[in-house]
């Protein structure tokens, strides 16, 4: 892991000098980037996703029904450095009634905030994701004996710095991430197949109703509407190396949905639309309850472990 982590943190250390914000949550100036469901937001934070639940049909012939239940906790070690730990439990029922269920491998993520530019509503985050081999239900086939290491860059950009003539368009924002997934083994002897290296990437387009009200124009909409962030996400994976004998097929989903943002938590719901048959069958559903630990425990768990800021965390304006 250190072979990929050290260059990433070195880059982060050089760029960190340009950081202009040190808020919990993902605030960059007036812009709030919510925790998206299929991809990650571009900020370190103190937060808890519990639960995240999805239902979908696999691309098998005939398709199987898959349920996935997961939780993830994120904690800032310093203002700009954080760690996340997550675990998934999956249940897959084949058309003939065969049931496979168990835990996937434990996932940890180290992240460093490279940039928060208030004026341009721009955030950049570096990270290294590790799925630890043999930490899940390996006997069920839902977890692997080998680990996966994925150096990743995350970004977010709000359009609030556009000229005022763009009016309502300035409430839009985009986020995204690009990672290179590297398995610690090149061949799976249990399945007798090569283990590919993959490009793992995704993006979101979102529209903040609270930003529209507070920064552009108050339309006098109901309070519930002002808490909404309509969003569409794209989450994809493409084999790029060590994929001998297998097609280089991109798989993933397009996820239109909406996030309701409160003062201490948010709730998100999205459809999961496979990009092709290899990605799944029909339309699935993804939902999440996400808790803002910095607002729930502002003087204890919601603070960085080291170098806590004396300033009050930025809050949403509705």
pLDDT digits (tens, 9 = 90+) for 259-286: 999 999 999 999 999 999 999 999 999 9
CATH number where 147 lies: 2.40.160.40
Alpha-carbon gap, residue 61 to 224, rounded angstroms: 43
Whether residue 305 is contained in a domain is answered as no
Q: What is the pTM assigned to this prediction?
A: 0.89
Whether residue 304 is contained in a domain is answered as no
Sign (positive or negative) of CA dihedral 110, 114, 119, 122:
negative
Q: Output the pLDDT for position 24.
A: 52
Range of the domain at 15: 2-296
Alpha-carbon gap, residue 291 to 312, rounded angstroms: 18
Q: Output the pLDDT for position 223.
A: 96
Structure tokens at 152: 């990743």
Q: Output the pLDDT for position 316.
A: 66
Whether residue 107 is contained in a domain is answered as yes
Q: How many CA atoms lie within 13 A of 207 on its CB side?
A: 12
Q: Output the pLDDT for position 313.
A: 59
**Which residues of the chain have a pLDDT value below 50?**
1-23
The enclosing H or E element of 296 equals: helix 293-296
Whether residue 237 is contained in a domain is answered as yes
Number of domains in the chain: 1
Residues linked to residue 90 through DSSP beta bridges, in sequence order:
68, 102
Q: Output the pLDDT for position 301.
A: 87
Whether residue 33 is contained in a domain is answered as yes
What are the two backbone dihedrals, phi and then psi, of residue 57, each rounded to the nearest 5 degrees?
Answer: -110, 135
Residues in the chain: 318
26 Cβ contact list (under 8 Å, min separation 6): 32, 33, 34, 35, 41, 42, 43, 45, 123, 156
Q: Output the pLDDT for position 4.
A: 41
Whether residue 307 is contained in a domain is answered as no
Alpha-carbon gap, residue 60 to 41, rounded angstroms: 31
Give the position of tokens 């260059």: 7
Q: Output the pLDDT for position 60.
A: 92
Query: Considering only CA atoms, which of 169, 174, 175, 176 is closest in space to residue 211?
Result: 169
Q: Output the pLDDT for position 217.
A: 97
pLDDT digits (tens, 9 = 90+) for 175-221: 999 999 999 999 988 888 899 999 999 999 999 999 999 999 999 99
Whether residue 11 is contained in a domain is answered as yes
Whether residue 197 is contained in a domain is answered as yes
């Amino acid at each position: 892991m250190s072979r990929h982590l050290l260059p990433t943190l070195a880059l982060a250390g050089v760029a960190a000098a340009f950081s202009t914000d040190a808020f919990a949550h993902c605030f960059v100036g007036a812009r709030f980037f919510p925790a998206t469901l299929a991809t990650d937001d571009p900020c370190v934070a103190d937060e808890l996703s519990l639960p995240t639940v999805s239902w979908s049909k696999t691309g098998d012939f005939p398709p199987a029904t898959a349920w996935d239940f997961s939780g993830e906790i994120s904690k800032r070690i310093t203002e700009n450095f954080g760690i996340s730990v997550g675990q998934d439990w999956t249940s897959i029922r084949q058309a003939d009634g065969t049931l496979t269920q168990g835990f996937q491998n434990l996932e940890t993520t180290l992240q460093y905030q490279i940039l928060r530019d208030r004026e341009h509503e721009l955030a950049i985050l570096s990270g290294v994701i590790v799925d630890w081999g043999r930490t899940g239900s390996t006997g069920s086939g839902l977890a692997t004996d080998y680990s996966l290491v994925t150096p990743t860059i995350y970004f977010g950009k709000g359009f609030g710095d556009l000229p005022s003539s763009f009016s309502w368009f300035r409430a839009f924002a985009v986020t995204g991430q690009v990672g290179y997934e590297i398995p610690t083994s090149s061949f799976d002897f249990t399945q007798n197949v090569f283990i590919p290296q993959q490009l793992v990437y995704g993006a979101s387009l979102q529209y903040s109703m609270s930003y529209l009200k507070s920064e552009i124009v108050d339309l006098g909409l109901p309070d519930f509407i002002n808490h909404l962030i309509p969003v569409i996400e794209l989450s994809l994976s493409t084999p790029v190396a060590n994929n001998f004998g297998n097609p280089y097929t991109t798989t993933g989903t397009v996820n239109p949905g909406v996030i309701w943002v409160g003062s201490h938590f948010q709730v998100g719901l999205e459809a999961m639309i496979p990009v092709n048959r290899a990605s799944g069958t029909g339309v699935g559903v993804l939902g999440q309850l996400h808790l803002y630990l910095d607002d729930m425990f502002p003087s204890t768990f919601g603070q960085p472990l080291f170098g806590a800021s004396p300033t009050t965390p930025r809050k949403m304006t509705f």
